[in-house]
Amino acid sequence: MAQLRGTAHERPAEDPLLLRMLATHMHCGEAMELVAEKTSPVGLPDGKNEDRILTYRCACGFSFDQRQD
């Protein structure tokens, strides 16, 4: 899968199921729990300023990081 990098506010294409999960924070039919919140370092390769990264975890153990612009 091609990765788009270097352009502000452009992201790689993501599959619809992942996008829906990111929007609803649901994985196994239950809302995932917000388990961590951190700020990424300044000076990212794409030239953006710092982003907030939220980590969600499902009851099944699945977790993912969601970047907040």
Task: Kindly report the three-state secondary structure assignment for every residue of the chain.
Answer: CCCCCCCCCCCCCCCHHHHHHHHHCECCCCECEEEEEEECCCCCCCCCCCCEEEEEECCCCCEEEEEEC
Nearer to Zn ion, 16 or 47 (CB): 16
- In the complex, the smallest distance separating the C-beta of residue 11 from Zn ion, rounded to whole angstroms, is 23
- In the complex, the smallest distance separating the C-beta of residue 33 from Zn ion, rounded to whole angstroms, is 11
- In the complex, the smallest distance separating the C-beta of residue 65 from Zn ion, rounded to whole angstroms, is 15
Nearer to Zn ion, 46 or 65 (CB): 65
